[in-house]
Amino acid sequence: MEQIEVSTGGRQAFHDITNEVQAAISRSGVQDGVCFLFCLHTTAGLTVNENWDPTVQQDIGTGLDAISPQRPEYRHSEGNSPAHLKCSLIGPSQFVPVAGGKLVLGTWQGVYLAEFDGPRRRKVVVKVVEG
Amino acid sequence: MEQIEVSTGGRQAFHDITNEVQAAISRSGVQDGVCFLFCLHTTAGLTVNENWDPTVQQDIGTGLDAISPQRPEYRHSEGNSPAHLKCSLIGPSQFVPVAGGKLVLGTWQGVYLAEFDGPRRRKVVVKVVEG
Amino acid sequence: MEQIEVSTGGRQAFHDITNEVQAAISRSGVQDGVCFLFCLHTTAGLTVNENWDPTVQQDIGTGLDAISPQRPEYRHSEGNSPAHLKCSLIGPSQFVPVAGGKLVLGTWQGVYLAEFDGPRRRKVVVKVVEG
């Protein structure tokens, strides 16, 4: 088990961590199995989406802001309930199959840490299981 | 493999099941691996979010009601399509890494059963895999 | 590790792949463990929801269209940002416990490939891990 640390770049930001995850798999020595990623926070999550055109990540952020705006009914005094909801919608974790020591991803897929209440320093647990 | 049963407390409710999950891990004897949780229902799910201030769970519920209201176009005759959609948005499952026989969670993270069409009796499968 | 291929039936469509997944588990010979499913695309995902009344899937699609419409602020030139957002909301993957060589699903649960930008030919990786 390892941890990846990411210093996020804004209130909301998507950071491609695919290379860091691949490096952790290589260090683990596992050839075939599953890589489990778990984000240790409640206002940031993990997603898999397009790694080519950065406007896709921007548009996903724009769409999430429209879905989860600040709402007058919210009671949590820290004021970051929109980020907590985004975290539960996107989810705190992702897994990716591993074959031949490599992540099995589609041509356009990358693994992203999704920051919803930054900038902050975030930790992602990486656990590679053989099987 | 075990099952956790939860009697939910309302139409929509979030139940912290972290202690029950930890107890199942302890019974499994697994020291290092991954704990897989799977909810056997289509109008309830599982999420990981803040375990300190209960207004966070309330606000997530308020936000989900705003995102997934009853809609006049819905055709499912049971009338609980908003709950089915919430289930697919939040997801039926979660996994959490295990190290030293303990769930690896961030300081503010808890595991929640999310009821969207209660009150009902709900079942969650717990499977702990060594690795 | 296997791949399931699905030719999707429209712009947005839900395809029940439960039988194909069960067949892959049977071929794997694994009796007890977890089945991991990973969709290799960024505008299609996987979900678990009701397998009985098809209006549930239709209503989930209607609700997702309301949540993730085309938005004038979107910048991605392919015009399919609503599908990319749906993919991150529903997620690219699902896991299901396996016991006695069978998927452990609730009475009303089926596994669905969710197409958001079809029709296309889609691939889902199936990986069954013993444990």
Instruction: Report pLDDT digits (tens) over A52-93.
Output: 999 999 999 999 999 999 999 999 999 999 999 999 999 999
Q: Write out pLDDT tens, residues C6-20.
A: 999 999 999 999 999
Residue B129 CA to residue A95 CA, distance in Å, equals 14
pLDDT of residue C114: 98
Strands B93-99 and B33-39: antiparallel
Cα C93 to Cα A58, A91, A104, distances in angstroms: 22, 12, 12
- Domain boundaries defined on chain B: 2-130
Q: Given a contact as 3+ CB pairs under 8 Å, which chains touch B?
A: A, C
Task: Find residue A5's DSSP bridge partners.
Answer: A123
Measured distance between the N- and C-terminal CA atoms of chain A, rounded to whole angstroms: 16
Contact B49/B57 with Cβ under 8 angstroms? yes
Answer yes or no: are the C-beta atoms of B21 and B126 closer than 8 Å: yes
Cβ contact A129–B34 (<8 Å): yes
Q: Secondary structure of chain A: what % helix, strand, coil (to 5)?
A: 25, 40, 35
Q: What is the pLDDT of residues B95-121, one digit of tens each?
A: 999 999 999 999 999 999 999 999 999
| B85 to chain C, closest Cα gap in Å | 5
Tell me what pLDDT residue A96 has: 98
What is the dotted CATH code of the domain comprising A2-130?
A: 2.60.120.460
On whether the pTM is more than 0.95, the answer is yes
User: Which chains touch A (3+ CB pairs under 8 A)?
Assistant: B, C
- Check: complex ipTM more than 0.95: yes
Question: Strand, coil or helix: what is B72?
Answer: coil
